[in-house]
Amino acid sequence: MKVIPIHELAAPIRSDATTPIPALGEALLDRRGRSLRDLRISVTDRCNFRCVYCMPRAVFDDSYSFLPRRELLSFEEILRVARRFVERGVRKIRITGGEPLLRKDVSRLIEMLAGLDDVEVTLTTNGVLLPRMARTLKDAGLHRVTVSLDALDDALFRRMNDADYPVERVLEGIAAAHAVGLGPIKVNMVVKRGTNDGDIEAMASHFRHSGHILRFIEFMDVGASNGWKMDEVLPSKDVIDRIARLYPLEAIDPNYSGEVAARWRYQDGAGEIGVISSVTQAFCATCTRIRLSTEGKLYTCLFAQNGHDLRSLLRADADDAQLDAAIGQVWHQREDRYSEIRTAETAALRKIEMSYIGG
């Protein structure tokens, strides 16, 4: 299956747009009244895994052309964009990929972003590079990590990552992050019915009493290369029911407005789990996220078909006022609600691949 190059999914931003944009210090809302709070920054389109739901090897093989270094935003460009977003109300920045720890000197970027006022800096990773990088990341100012782990069964996990990485490598990464204080650690399991749903109970049992928060994510139709089918989605309700048969659960309140994971805790005090139900229980109405791709395109939805070219403005010497106007215009005109209107037809649309914009 052909993956459409990222530049073909991007449109230029008009920094001279005439639609009135709230001034700095005023609430910046999209067309559905949603505020801007979370910025996700992809720092590389490369990954050392070939997970079947994200970068299937049949597409992302040895002949696949990744972005050349010159097309990636520099750390200085990323910082400049992030600063404009913080001025507009962003309070959480998440570093993603691809696998973000493959980006050379990524700890330097984290140190730069951690210097922004009143911002939490987090990172999502597959975990295998954490044993040698966790201390450096913590010292740079990283607050927390989220680690992807889709099975405990080693043979199954190797099949899912399709790069022959054993489960133990990821567990070592989680332990390393915990040891340096990058917590509470969230562990994300993407659940595909008929593939890894048999490991749900084992994952729950393993992470009880660990202090880590295990989250189960419904298999989503991100991008156009993962072969998504509705019958491979296991509803989060079924996940909760299966775990509750072993360990009684009770629902708890979200940590903050717009939190995407519904929270549950074990009644015996063994910790909490979460479920992210983008397919069966859409949370578009409270979504506060925007995404900056590896090469400087803004995407207002994980399932977006088109982005907005911010890099061209950066490299045309746009001043801060022009950048702010462009960012404000993109968010102010946002009206995405993909998961609320998902159909077989929309699922088949060509969308930006998750490896360009993170989860």
pLDDT for the residue numbered 8: 45
To 10 degrees, the CA torsion angle through 349, 350, 355, 358?
Answer: -50
Phi-psi sector, 281: left (phi>0), alpha (psi -120 to 50), beta = beta
Minimal CA–CA distance to 160: which of 130, 127, 198, 190?
190
pLDDT for the residue numbered 305: 86
pLDDT for the residue numbered 256: 84
Instruction: Output DSSP code: residue 233.
Output: B
Residue indicated by tokens 């964009």: 81
Under-50 pLDDT residues of the chain = 1-9, 15-17
329-356: pLDDT as tens digits: 999 999 999 888 887 777 777 778 878 8
68-92 burial, b at 16+ Cβ within 10 Å, e below that, comes to eeeebbebebbbebbbbbbbbbbbb
pLDDT for the residue numbered 2: 41
Residue type, 296: G
**N-to-C CA span, the chain:** 21
pLDDT for the residue numbered 11: 53
pLDDT for the residue numbered 288: 94
pLDDT for the residue numbered 356: 80
- H/E element, 106: helix 106-114
Minimal CA–CA distance to 72: which of 43, 100, 107, 31?
43
Q: Please tell me the distance from the alpha carbon of residue 74 to that of residue 121, in angstroms, as a whole number.
A: 18
326: Cβ contacts below 8 Å, ≥ 6 apart? 13, 14, 15, 17, 308, 310, 313, 318
Do 54 and 226 contact (CB within 8 A), yes or no?
yes
- H/E element, 339: helix 338-341
pLDDT for the residue numbered 348: 74
Could you give the count of Cα atoms lying within 13 Å of 174 in the half-sphere of its Cβ?
Answer: 22
216-225: pLDDT as tens digits: 999 988 877 7
Q: Please tell me the distance from the alpha carbon of residue 96 to that of residue 354, in angstroms, as a whole number.
A: 10
The number of residues making up the chain comes to: 359
pLDDT for the residue numbered 96: 97
pLDDT for the residue numbered 4: 42
Quote the pTM value. Answer: 0.92
Angle of helix 106-114 relative to helix 130-140, nearest 10 degrees, comes to: 30
pLDDT for the residue numbered 223: 74
Do 45 and 97 contact (CB within 8 A), yes or no?
yes
Is the preceding omega at residue 184 within 30 degrees of 0, hence cis? yes
pLDDT for the residue numbered 16: 47
Q: HEC profile for 147-211?
A: EECCCCCHHHHHHHHCCCCCHHHHHHHHHHHHHHCCCCCEEEEEEECCCCHHHHHHHHHHHCCCC
Minimal CA–CA distance to 81: which of 308, 324, 294, 328?
324
Q: DSSP assignment of 277-324, as one string?
A: -TTTS--GGG--EEEE-TTSEEESSTT-S-EEE-HHHHTTT--HHHHH
Q: Please tell me the distance from the alpha carbon of residue 159 to that of residue 156, in angstroms, as a whole number.
A: 5
Domains within the chain, CATH numbers bracketed: 6-357 (3.20.20.70)
